[in-house]
């Protein structure tokens, strides 16, 4: 069994959400950034012994490598929203070549969108082309920025997302759902997937079993079996996965 999971707000939480009496799993420049509860840390250790645990994140490879999970470094990790597969923390060239074939048709539109975002006063972070896969920046008015972008460009090869003040332009071929399909081809096992955001929708739909923290996500999940709850409980995901795999 493969256990594919989003990280931020699904398994790990920022210092704004969990206090320092929890288990720190991410530091940068001496600052503690992300935490897990002690209960979730122990659950992840147990689950990683019973499944092939594979993080699937929109984080860049560099951002992912900052994380030190209590279960140890997973053999596989998907970064860049599906754009890169790390095997023992090293990018897999075969996966990347396949991803680049999907990114290439979106390059022209992403270039135009990047140039447009760089002219907007509400953008307050340099527009980044993350690992040569997707665009990312921050806006004081993210919903309005994406609405204007969609109206200005009617993008056909790019999907637009917001997450708080963060905004993204992602090639339509690159998604966590694509990652699920490719991992199933590679490893040939049943898949439990967990997530909480719109970035996770395709991953959850393509899994055999989906564990969903509702809120940003709504509507029917296409997975054959799904467990969902609108909750702020940081232990919900791993409590649910542990129950599924030990029933």
Contact 62, 136 (CB under 8 A): no
Residue 215 reports pLDDT greater than 70: no
First CA to last CA distance, the chain: 14
What pTM does this model have? 0.94
CATH architecture of 2-83+174-246: 3-Layer(aba) Sandwich (3.40)
Edge to edge, what strands does the sheet with 13-14 contain?
13-14, 31-36, 23-28
Q: Which of 56-60, 61-65, 93-97, 214-218 comes out lowest in average pLDDT? A: 214-218
Q: What's the mean pLDDT when you consider all of the chain?
A: 95
Rounded Cα gap, residues 190 and 18, in angstroms:
32
Q: Which of 135-144, 160-169, 212-221 comes out lowest in average pLDDT? A: 212-221
Contact 145, 94 (CB under 8 A): no
pLDDT digits (tens, 9 = 90+) for 141-160: 999 999 999 999 888 999 99
Residue 136 reports pLDDT greater than 80: yes
Q: In the structure encoding, which two tokens stand for residue 218, read together?
A: 């709504």
Q: In the structure encoding, which two tokens stand for residue 233, read together?
A: 């409980």
pLDDT band at 220; cut points 50, 70, 90: confident
Q: Which fold has domain 105-171?
A: Hypothetical Protein Ta0175; Chain: A, domain 2 (3.90.1070)
Among 196, 204, 209, residue whose Cα is nearest residue 244:
209
pLDDT digits (tens, 9 = 90+) for 156-177: 999 999 988 999 999 999 999 9
- Segment 65-84 shows an average pLDDT of 97
Report CA-CA distances (Å) from 133 to 81, 103, 190, 234.
9, 7, 28, 30
pLDDT band at 105; cut points 50, 70, 90: very high
Higher pLDDT, 217 or 192: 192
Rounded Cα gap, residues 226 and 211, in angstroms:
6
Q: Where are the domains of the chain?
A: 2-83+174-246, 105-171
Residue 74 reports pLDDT greater than 70: yes
């Amino acid at each position: 069994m493969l256990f594919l999971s989003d990280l931020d707000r699904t398994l790990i939480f920022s210092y704004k959400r969990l206090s320092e009496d929890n288990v720190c799993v991410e530091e940068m420049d001496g600052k503690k950034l992300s935490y897990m509860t002690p209960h979730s840390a122990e659950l992840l250790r147990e689950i990683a012994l019973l499944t092939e645990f594979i993080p699937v994140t929109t984080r860049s490879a560099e951002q992912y490598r900052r994380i030190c999970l209590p279960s140890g470094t997973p053999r596989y990790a998907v970064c860049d929203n599906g754009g890169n597969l790390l095997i023992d923390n090293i990018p897999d060239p075969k996966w990347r070549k396949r991803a680049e074939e999907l990114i290439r048709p979106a390059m022209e539109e992403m270039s135009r969108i990047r140039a447009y975002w760089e002219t907007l006063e509400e953008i307050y972070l340099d527009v980044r082309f993350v690992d040569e896969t997707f665009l990312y920046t921050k806006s004081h008015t993210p919903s309005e920025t994406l609405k204007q972008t969609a109206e200005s460009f009617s993008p056909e090869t790019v999907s637009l997302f917001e997450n708080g003040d963060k905004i993204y332009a992602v090639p339509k071929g690159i998604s966590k759902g694509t990652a699920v399909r490719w991992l199933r081809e590679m490893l040939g096992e049943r898949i439990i997937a967990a997530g909480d955001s719109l970035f996770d929708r395709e991953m959850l739909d393509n899994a055999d079993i989906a564990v969903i923290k509702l809120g940003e996500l709504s509507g029917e999940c296409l997975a054959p079996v799904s467990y969902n709850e609108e909750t702020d409980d940081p232990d919900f995901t791993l409590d649910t996965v542990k129950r599924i795999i030990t029933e």
